[in-house]
């Protein structure tokens, strides 16, 4: 695949772990464990083929509403994943970041997340953003609140608030918007993922359940992306003339 057509930033809603496990008459938590393996495969392949930024939805602000046992098993899985995966990611040159309201997690988990961020902060080969206790509306409200506080304190002129400034207060402030959004598991919805950031993102939906996702599926999604014409409000002719100019 030509490098030039590679999406720079891919966002993934890793959905379908529960159904994958239920089909096998196993617990939903077992499905989440298989989901972690799929993430490992996918992230590794993504780095190899030159995707610079991968942002994955691991736990939404609404996922707390699941049965307590599933939530607590997921927290255990996050704890052990942080222990086992971070070293390998670091050796591979991956910068890890967490986006979301980390104050919702217990201190031990939060500390591991912050430690992983610190350890990998200087890595430049690729970036893995893990959205945990993340909601697109939370992100937008959070940005609005911090700007309102600064305006109240006289540090920000409300007239200076534009899209650029607003975007700079969001969780992925220093990151280009996703080029490609992938959702597995057959549902065609955004489920409160990157609401602001996906304004011009290309969407790709797959029926494959997340634990079955991997190299070939990622290649398929990228191939579909490469067939799209991104117009950003312009006409197709404008876009094609510019591309050939
Ligand atoms: C996504 O898989 C993982 C998380 C939300 C943590 P699901 O657990 O939503 O799987 P399904 O949609 O029930 O199959
Ligand atoms: C979205 O999946 C969140 C994650 C993948 C972490 P959900 O399974 O929670 O989404 P809904 O509830 O089907 O919309
Ligand atoms: Mg789901």
Per-residue pLDDT, 1: 45
207 is known as an active-site residue:
no
pLDDT band for 13, please (50, 70, 90 cuts): very high
CA of 146 to the centre of ligand 1 (A): 32
Rounded CA Rg of the chain: 19
> How many CB atoms lie under 10 A from the CB of residue 121?
10
- Beta carbons of 86 and 96 less than 8 angstroms apart: yes
63 pocket-lining for ligand 2 (C-beta < 6 Å): yes
Residue 94 backbone dihedrals phi, psi, to 5 degrees: -95, 130
For residue 69, pLDDT over 80 is answered with yes
Per-residue pLDDT, 243: 86
Q: How far apart are the first and last CA of the chain?
A: 22
Q: What is the pTM of this model?
A: 0.97
Helices (H), 49-177: 68-91, 107-120, 136-152, 163-167
Q: Which atom of ligand 2 is nearest to the CA of 131?
A: 6
101 is known as an active-site residue:
no
- In this structure, whether the domain defined by 9-139+176-244 belongs to CATH 3.40.1180.10 is answered with yes
Residues 6+ apart with CB under 8 A from 11: 54, 55, 56, 57, 178, 180, 181, 182, 193, 194, 197, 198, 201
What are the residue boundaries of the structural domains of the chain, listed by start?
A: 9-139+176-244
Task: For 76-119, write each residue's pLDDT tens digit.
Answer: 999 999 999 999 999 999 999 999 999 999 999 999 999 999 99
């Amino acid at each position: 695949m030509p490098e030039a057509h590679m999406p720079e930033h891919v966002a993934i809603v890793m959905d379908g772990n529960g159904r994958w496990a239920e089909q096998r008459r196993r617990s939903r938590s077992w499905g989440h464990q298989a989901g972690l393996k799929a993430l490992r495969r996918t992230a590794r392949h993504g780095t190899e083929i030159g995707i610079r930024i991968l942002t994955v939805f691991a736990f939404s602000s609404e996922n707390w509403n699941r049965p307590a046992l599933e939530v607590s098993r997921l927290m255990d899985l996050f704890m052990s994943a942080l222990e086992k995966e971070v070293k390998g990611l670091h050796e591979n040159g991956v910068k890890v970041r967490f986006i979301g309201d980390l104050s919702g997690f217990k201190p031990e988990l939060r500390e591991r997340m912050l430690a992983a961020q610190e350890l990998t902060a200087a890595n430049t080969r690729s970036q893995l953003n893990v959205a945990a206790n993340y909601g697109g509306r939370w992100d937008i409200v959070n940005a609005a609140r911090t700007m309102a506080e600064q305006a109240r304190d006289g540090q920000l002129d409300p007239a200076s608030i534009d899209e650029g400034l607003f975007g700079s207060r969001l969780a992925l402030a220093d990151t280009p918007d996703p080029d490609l959004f992938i959702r597995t598991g057959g549902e065609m919805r955004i489920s409160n993922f990157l609401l602001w950031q996906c304004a011009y993102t290309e969407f790709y939906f797959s029926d494959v359940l997340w634990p079955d996702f991997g190299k070939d599926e990622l290649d398929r999604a990228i191939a579909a992306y490469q067939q799209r014409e991104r117009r950003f409000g312009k006409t197709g002719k404008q876009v094609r003339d510019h591309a050939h100019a």
